[in-house]
C-alpha cells in the first residue's frame, strides 16, 4: 500500500519519466536503439525537468546519507523510494546522485541473494536498520525491477560495465525468487515469499508488471524467459482487469491487489483487509508501466490493453475530472482528485485520447 509521501514521489517520477521519454530517445539514453514517435511536445522541456528534479531531491532526498525519505512515515527509506531516485538521476544524467544512492542501497538494503530488503528505518531497539519486525527484510519486486533497469541504463549512459554486471546478478535473482510458471504462463509475484508459501493461491499486485523492462532484461539475460514473461503478463493483466469475482458486475478497471487460485485459476478478493481490488494508488501505475511498452517497444499488446481503460474517458466526459480512486466496476468511491491519478493514467489518454491528454 502507498502512503501520501510515496504517492507524491511516484507522481513526480511518473510525470518526469513521461516527459523524459522523448528526450531519452533523442539523446540515445536508452539501452535499445529504437526510434520514438511520442506525440506530445513539451515547452522548455529540459528546464521543467530540471526544476522538477531539483524539487524532488530537496523534498525527498537526504543529500548527506543519500537515501530517499518518507517524511510521513517516521523517516523510513524503502527499496521503491531508492529505485525512483536511481531512475530519475540516471535520466537526468546525474551520476553523482546515482552513484551515492546506489552505494547506500547496496550497503543498507541489498541481501546476499542480490535482491533488496524493502523497508529500512528506526527500529524498536533504537538502531537504524532493516525493519525485520514488520517484514522489512522481504522483497518488493517492483523496486528490484526498477533498480535493475536504472543500472542497465546507467551502464549505457556512462559506459560503466560494472553497472551492467550488477544488474545481471539482480535480474537473475528476480527471476529465480519471484517468477513462477502457472498453466504454461510466466507470472511475476510481488515478493519473495509467495513462490514458496504453502497455500493454494498467489497474492498478486498487477502494478508491478513491467513488460517494457522485461524486454530489455531479455537482451542481457538469455538464461531466463523475459520476453515470454512480458507477453504472458498481458494475459494475466487482461484477466485481472475483466474477469468477474463471483456474480458481481463486469469489471472495468484493474485492481490494486488480487488473489489468483493456483489450480482453478479463479480470482478473488485479498483476505488482508488492508489490501483491496479498487483502482487506486497501487493500480494507477499499471497504465504508466504499460505505456512504456508501447513507447519503447511499440508492442500492439500494450496499446490494445490500454484501450480497456475506456472507463476513464467516460469519467472525464461525465465529470470533467478523474477521481483519486474507483472500484473495479468503474464507480468513483471518493469525490476528490489527486495528481497521482492524473500522472498514472496519462499514458492511456496520451495513446488513446490525445485531445483529452492535453487538457489534463
120-131 pLDDT, tens digit each: 999 999 999 999
Count of domains for the chain: 1
pLDDT at 249: 86
Residue 45 lies in a domain: yes
Tell me the percentage of the chain whose pLDDT exceeds 90: 82
Residue 260 lies in a domain: no
The CATH number of residue 112's host domain is: 1.50.10.10
* Phi-psi group of 147: left, alpha or beta (phi > 0 → left; psi -120 to 50 → alpha; rest → beta): alpha
Residue 286 lies in a domain: no
Give every residue of the chain whose pLDDT is below 50, as ranges.
Answer: 1-12, 14-15, 18-42
Residue 81 lies in a domain: yes
CA 67 – CA 297 distance, rounded (Å): 32
pLDDT at 131: 98
**Residues 63-96: pLDDT tens digits?**
999 999 998 899 999 999 999 999 999 999 999 9
Domain limits at 67? 1-33+41-169
Please, is 43 exposed, middle or buried when counting C-beta atoms within 10 Å of its C-beta (0-12, 13-18, 19+)?
Answer: exposed
- pTM equals 0.88
Residue 316 lies in a domain: no
Residue 177 lies in a domain: no
pLDDT at 360: 83
Residue 3 lies in a domain: yes
Q: Per DSSP, which regions of the chain are E strands?
A: 61-62, 67-68, 77-78, 119-122, 128-130, 179-182, 185-188, 201-204, 258-261, 267-268
* Cα–Cα distances in angstroms (integers) from residue 161 to residues 61, 152, 164, 235, in the given order: 27, 9, 5, 35
Which residue do the cell numbers 513488460 mark? Answer: 211
CA 105 – CA 66 distance, rounded (Å): 9
Residue 121 lies in a domain: yes
Amino acid at each position: 500500500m502507498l502512503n501520501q509521501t510515496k504517492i507524491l514521489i511516484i507522481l513526480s517520477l511518473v510525470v518526469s519519466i513521461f516527459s523524459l521519454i522523448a528526450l531519452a530517445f533523442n539523446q540515445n539514453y536508452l539501452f535499445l536503439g529504437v526510434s520514438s514517435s511520442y506525440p506530445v511536445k513539451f515547452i522548455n522541456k529540459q528546464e521543467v525537468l530540471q526544476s522538477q528534479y531539483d524539487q524532488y531531491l530537496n523534498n525527498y532526498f537526504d543529500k548527506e546519507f543519500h537515501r530517499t525519505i518518507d517524511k510521513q512515515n517516521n523517516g523510513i527509506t524503502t527499496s521503491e523510494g531508492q529505485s525512483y531516485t536511481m531512475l530519475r538521476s540516471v535520466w537526468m544524467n546525474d551520476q553523482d546522485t546515482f552513484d551515492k544512492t546506489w552505494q547506500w542501497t547496496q550497503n543498507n538494503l541489498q541481501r546476499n541473494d542480490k535482491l533488496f530488503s524493502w523497508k529500512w528505518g528506526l527500529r524498536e531497539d533504537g538502531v537504524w536498520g532493516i525493519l525485520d519486525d514488520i517484514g522489512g527484510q522481504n522483497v518488493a519486486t517492483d523496486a528490484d525491477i526498477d533498480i535493475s533497469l536504472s543500472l542497465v541504463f546507467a551502464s549505457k549512459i556512462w559506459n560503466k560495465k560494472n553497472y551492467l554486471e550488477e544488474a545481471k546478478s539482480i535480474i537473475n535473482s528476480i527471476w529465480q525468487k519471484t517468477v513462477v510458471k502457472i498453466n504454461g504462463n510466466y507470472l511475476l509475484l510481488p515478493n519473495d515469499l509467495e513462490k514458496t508459501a504453502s497455500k493454494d493461491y498467489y497474492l498478486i499486485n498487477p502494478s508491478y508488471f513491467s513488460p517494457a523492462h522485461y524486454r530489455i532484461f531479455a537482451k542481457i539475460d538469455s538464461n531466463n524467459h523475459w520476453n515470454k514473461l512480458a507477453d504472458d503478463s498481458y494475459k494475466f493483466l487482461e484477466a485481472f482487469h475483466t474477469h468477474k469475482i463471483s456474480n458481481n458486475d463486469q469489471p472495468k478497471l484493474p485492481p490494486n491487489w488480487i488473489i489468483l487460485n493456483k489450480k482453478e485459476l479463479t480470482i478473488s478478493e485479498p483476505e488482508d483487509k488492508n489490501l483491496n481490488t479498487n483502482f487506486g494508488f497501487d493500480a494507477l501505475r499499471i497504465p504508466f508501466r504499460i505505456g512504456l511498452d508501447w513507447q519503447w517497444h511499440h508492442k500492439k499488446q500494450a496499446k490494445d490493453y490500454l484501450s480497456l481503460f475506456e472507463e476513464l474517458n467516460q469519467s472525464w466526459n461525465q465529470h470533467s475530472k478523474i477521481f483519486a480512486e474507483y472500484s473495479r466496476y468503474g464507480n468513483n468511491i471518493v469525490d476528490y482528485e489527486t495528481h497521482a491519478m492524473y500522472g498514472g493514467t496519462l499514458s492511456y489518454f496520451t495513446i488513446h485520447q490525445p485531445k483529452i491528454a492535453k487538457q489534463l
